[in-house]
Amino acid sequence: MPTSPRFWNLIAGRYARTPVADEAAYQHKLAATRHLLSPEMDVLEFGCGTGTTALHHAPFVRRYTGIDFAPKMIAIARGKATAAGQSNLSFEVARIEEWTAPDHSYDVILGMSILHLLDGKEAVLARVHRLLKPGGLFVSSTVCATDMPRIVTWILPVGSALGLLPLVRRFSDSDLVASHIDAGFVIKDRWRPGPGKAVFLVAQVP
């Protein structure tokens, strides 16, 4: 898990104001995810940030819960939910590793732009697997740093050391898929908009 929410608390306001870097890819992921949702579903999103994705999806499910370990991110997300009048959407300060919901609580879990920021993604995937109902879906978008241009892999650790960037764990697209399979998931969809872009996966509990 990330060691401290300090970096994310510091940038929360700027993060909320920053446009999505690749709007076309983001819209594709939203549409692909929405296709999986239905009104009777309970959904959890971990690493939800300031709640943008949650606000898009909450109208299409019964209950949507977003969690993030950075209190200032969650404060902004709650403000957005209140402004939108989205009564089935809630946000909590929590880490997925410590989330206390019973096993088999959710139909869908989202982890968007988060797995590459966590120590021990294998333990997180195991936890997600337990939280999902049989047949449940895990939807994720993950930076695979070893597949990115070499200059980027040099910049990331330097930026992290200077406190300008979060620490990104380095693994490949194939490593990411293998870790899902090892956790007991079946890969249902795999999409990448281009070289060096985040990998979008839909994985299912058998």
Measured between alpha carbons, how far is 129 from 205 in angstroms, rounded to an integer?
7
pLDDT band at 157 (very low <50, low <70, confident <90, very high): very low
Q: Residue 191 has which token pair?
A: 């999409």
Residue 154 pLDDT > 60, yes or no? Answer: no
pLDDT band at 182 (very low <50, low <70, confident <90, very high): very high
Q: Residue 166 has what pLDDT?
A: 57
pLDDT band at 16 (very low <50, low <70, confident <90, very high): very high
Q: Cα angle at 34 between 146 and 9, to 5 degrees?
A: 55
Q: What is the mean pLDDT of the chain?
A: 90
- Whether the full predicted model's pTM is greater than 0.75, yes or no, is yes
Residue 119 pLDDT > 70, yes or no? Answer: yes
Give pLDDT tens digits for 122-133. Answer: 999 999 999 999
pLDDT band at 112 (very low <50, low <70, confident <90, very high): very high
Measured between alpha carbons, how far is 73 from 34 in angstroms, rounded to an integer?
23
Residue 162 pLDDT > 90, yes or no? Answer: no
Q: Residue 169 has what pLDDT?
A: 79
Domains of the chain as residue ranges with CATH: 6-204 (3.40.50.150)
Q: Percentage of residues in the chain with pLDDT exceeding 70?
A: 88
- What is the b/e burial string over 50-85, where b = at least 16 CB atoms within 10 angstroms of the residue's CB? bbbbbbbbbebbebbbbbbbbebbbebbbebbeeee
Give pLDDT tens digits for 49-86. Answer: 999 999 999 999 999 999 999 999 999 999 999 999 99
Q: Residue type at 141?
A: S
